Chains A and B, each alone.
Chain A
């Protein structure tokens, strides 16, 4: 009993710690710069910060770029990941274990370690300052391949055999049997991927130079280089704006996401 009470207290503390920056951002975004740090409950509310943030940078373009980059990356990851995972899960071919080991090793490498090499590759392809370059290094996701391979391996082989005998070729089996059965995992993986790439900063900063290819996180940077000091109210408004789509999506589909995470075993 004492243990569970302690756990509950710890959970509340952690939750408070987690939500505090968000609460501060909400407070600051709706109050003027002068009121942002005084926490006066009677201070007047304002939307001025959002207007200033929106006008400070081409956010509409950044939103579009981010949406395109995240969608493109997710689609590529799902296509490449599911095909590779299917091959690793169900086919025997020369060098299979070696290839899979290389993919597992990739899981151990922090993406930021590869920035220089990735930049060289992208430059050779002539894709610097192109939206495609922001997503390209992530298209073949080791995590995605590993996760989907494990999921496909848990599907009874008889389900595939039944589909093959009833007339479905290997790709039809992947489409009609494996992918529908892996849906919770695909949803959970999709959420992880979208939130990671929506928030990714360093690589997009390195590989983009103009507003035409910049994404939201890089666009937000204009507020951190203010000569007159940092305006927390405008930064908070901009941060809320950029994270709003993700937050809204999570709140709307919360139940489905949590169920998918539980089934997929991703935390």
Chain B
């Protein structure tokens, strides 16, 4: 029977992915391309995830994020490229290498939990240890149950648990085997809004306390930016950007990434000069030097403005408030400067007369216009 992909257990020695002194690499993906019969779902994907990071991969449905998790887990067999987990190659089609899922040392939290209906909560937690022939440390499991708020429910089966409790069992099961890498496949999308918020808090707290390495895929930008110490954006099978939330916020690779990573406005400007990391642009009759995307060219460009890029100032640009929303300690207003589209700005108070604003050049970001 050749259905199961060939499993090779004696892989070549580990390939170091990190220089001395740097944290070890929990996951490295090199040139991963994957096709289904009618479409390419992942295209030349490169990704490096240092150990101890909680990475969130953001993408719409059909962007290839679930396929990526399946490839990392070994459920799907990679067609090209290479996957390395904790410095150990696990998939390399060029060498006919495919390590079976059970030998990759992973844990996974599923969107629909995938709990076994015939097993109790306790049995779920013991499963990864027994399956890997490891000793079951009942004290450690009890502590884990306590951490995820499931103490007292050890003997219940999934059918007798609420949606949130089931998701926490899925999380505890994935953590019980001390995985090298935790994969989370839209773990919060099957629960209601209140439960989602509670589970996010659980995840964040668990990550802070236990310090595991995780790759969490989601379509929810709030979730990704709240949880991720590193965030990636996947669009139609391509990893558009991979970096810290700050990098994605301040230096987004595209307008779409900019919108996913937070509130922003866009002003069309003329790029006069481009010097690699900065550019001179003319906006509202004044020349500004702003940080710029490497692909920007002289001519038309888009100036991305976060709410902190425009600040109240005397002798600034005269603006008209088009709308405002109170945010507890300040207002998020949308203002029009000349004929511009509404631009976001933080204001302490809503002034009685039109405000004047000054551009903080370091908080702006210049993006190319793709015709």
Stretch at the interface among A144-152, A176-184, A254-262: A176-184
Residue of A with least CB distance to B3: A91
Q: Offer 17 A-B interface pairs, CB within 8 angstroms, sorted by A.
A: A87-B1, A93-B3, A158-B114, A162-B110, A163-B131, A165-B73, A165-B75, A165-B108, A166-B108, A166-B127, A166-B131, A166-B173, A166-B177, A167-B131, A169-B102, A180-B118, A181-B118
Contact A164 B100 (CB under 8 A): yes
Whether A111 sits at the interface, judged by CB under 8 Å, is no
Is A168 engaged at the interface, CB distance under 8 Å to the other chain?
yes
Q: How far is the CB of B189 from chain A (nearest CB, A)?
A: 14
CB contact between B107 and one of A93, A94, A165 (< 8 Å): that residue: A165
Q: Which A residues are in CB contact (< 8 Å) with B102?
A: 164-169
Asked if A161 and B3 sit within 8 Å, CB to CB, the answer is no
A156 CB-CB contact with B under 8 Å:
yes
Q: How large is the interface on A (under 10, 10 to 19, 20 to 34, 35 or more residues)?
A: 20 to 34
Interface residue from B104, B116, B183 paired with A159 (Cβ < 8 Å): B116
Interface flags, B80-103, vs A, CB<8A=1, else 0: 000000000000000000001110
Do B1 and A169 touch across chains, with their CB atoms under 8 A apart? Answer: no
Using A166-B131, A167-B102, A167-B132 as known contacts, say yes or no to A161 and B114 having CB atoms under 8 A apart: yes
A-B pairs with lowest CB-CB distance, top 9: A91-B3, A167-B131, A158-B114, A167-B132, A162-B114, A164-B101, A166-B128, A168-B131, A180-B118
- In the bound complex, residues from chain B placing their C-beta under 8 Å from that of A158 are 110, 112, 114
A167 & B4 in contact (Cβ 8 Å cutoff)? no
In the complex, A265 has a CB within 8 A of chain B: no
User: Nearest Cβ in chain A — how far from B135, in angstroms?
Assistant: 14
* In the assembled complex, B106 has its CB within 8 A of some CB on chain A: yes
Is residue A172 within 8 Å, beta carbon to beta carbon, of the partner chain? yes
Interface check B276, CB cutoff 8 A: no
Q: Which residue of A87, A90, A163 is within 8 Å of B127 (Cβ)?
A: A163
Contacts of B117 in A (CB 8 A): 181
Give B1-52 interface residues, CB cut-off 8 Å to A.
1-4
Contacts of B132 in A (CB 8 A): 167
Measured between alpha carbons, how far is A87 from B101 in the docked complex, in Å?
18
Contact between chains at A93 and B131 (CB < 8 Å): no
Measured CB to CB, the nearest residue on chain B to A177 is B116
In the complex, which range does the number of interface residues on chain B fall in? 20 to 34
A177 to B115, CA, bound (A): 10
A161 touches B1 (CB 8 A): no
Residues of the A chain whose Cβ atoms lie less than 8 Å from the Cβ of B75 = 161, 164-165
* A170 in contact (CB, < 8 A): yes
What is the distance, in angstroms, from B158's C-beta to the closest C-beta of chain A? 11
Chain B residues near A90 (CB-CB < 8 A): 3
When C-beta atoms are compared, the residue in chain A nearest to B70 turns out to be: A161
CA distance A161 to B118 in the complex (A): 16
Contact call B2/A165, Cβ cutoff below 8 A: no
Contacting pair B106 A165 (CB below 8 A): yes
Mark each residue of chain A from 37 to 77: 1 if its CB lies under 8 Å from any CB of chain B, else 0. Answer: 00000000000000000000000000000000000000000
The CA of A180 and the CA of B3, in the complex, are separated in Å by: 24
Which A residues are CB-close (under 8 A) to B3? 87, 90-93
Which A residues are in CB contact (< 8 Å) with B74?
164-165
Contact B114 A156 (CB under 8 A): yes
**A-chain residues with CB within 8 Å of residue B128 when the two chains form the complex:** 166-167
Known: A161-B73, A162-B108. A91 touches B4 (CB 8 A): yes
**CB-contact partner of B1 in A93, A165, A168, A176, under 8 A:** A93
Shortest C-beta distance, A4 to chain B (Å), equals 34
| Contact partners of A159 in chain B: CB under 8 A | 114, 116
CA distance A202 to B209 in the complex (A): 70
CB neighbors of B among A179-212 (8 A):
180-181, 183
B174 CB to nearest A CB, Å: 8
* Cα–Cα, bound, A167→B75 (Å): 13
Which of A93, A164, A177 has a CB less than 8 Å from the CB of B2?
A: A93
Residues of B within 8 A of A177 (CB): 116
Closest-by-CB residue of B relative to A90 is B3
Q: When the two chains form their complex, are residues B100 and A166 in contact, meaning their CB atoms are under 8 A apart?
A: no
Instruction: Give the Cβ gap from A178 to chain B, nearest Cβ, in Å.
Output: 10
CA distance A172 to B1 in the complex (A): 18
Q: Check if A165 sits within 8 Å of B101, measured CB to CB.
A: yes
A180 CA / B118 CA spacing, docked (Å)? 7
Q: What are the residues of chain A within 8 A of B127 when measuring CB–CB? A: 163, 166-168, 176
Those of B55-77 within 8 Å (CB) of chain A: 73-75
Most chain A beta carbons < 10 A, residue from B104, B110, B132, B177: B110
Of chain B, the residue at the smallest CB distance from A183 is B118
- CA separation between A158 and B185, bound complex, in Å? 12
10 extra interface residue pairs, beta carbon distance < 8 Å, beyond A159-B114, A166-B174, A181-B117: A87-B3, A91-B4, A161-B73, A164-B74, A164-B75, A165-B108, A166-B108, A167-B132, A168-B131, A176-B127
CB distance from A105 to the nearest CB of B (A): 21
**Cα of A187 to Cα of B296 in the assembled complex, Å:** 70
Cα A158 to Cα B106 in complex, Å, equals 15
A218 to B205, CA, bound (A): 71
On whether the beta carbons of B114 and A170 are closer than 8 Å, the reply is no
A172 contact set on B, CB distance < 8 A: 131
A169 and B73 form a contact (CB under 8 A)? no
Is the beta-carbon distance between A170 and B4 smaller than 8 angstroms?
yes
Given contacts A91-B3, A94-B2, contact A167 B177 (CB under 8 A): yes
Q: CA A169 – CA B102 in complex, angstroms?
A: 6
Quote the shortest CB–CB distance from A185 to chain B (angstroms): 13
Which residues of chain B come closer than 8 Å to A156, judged between CB atoms?
A: 112, 114
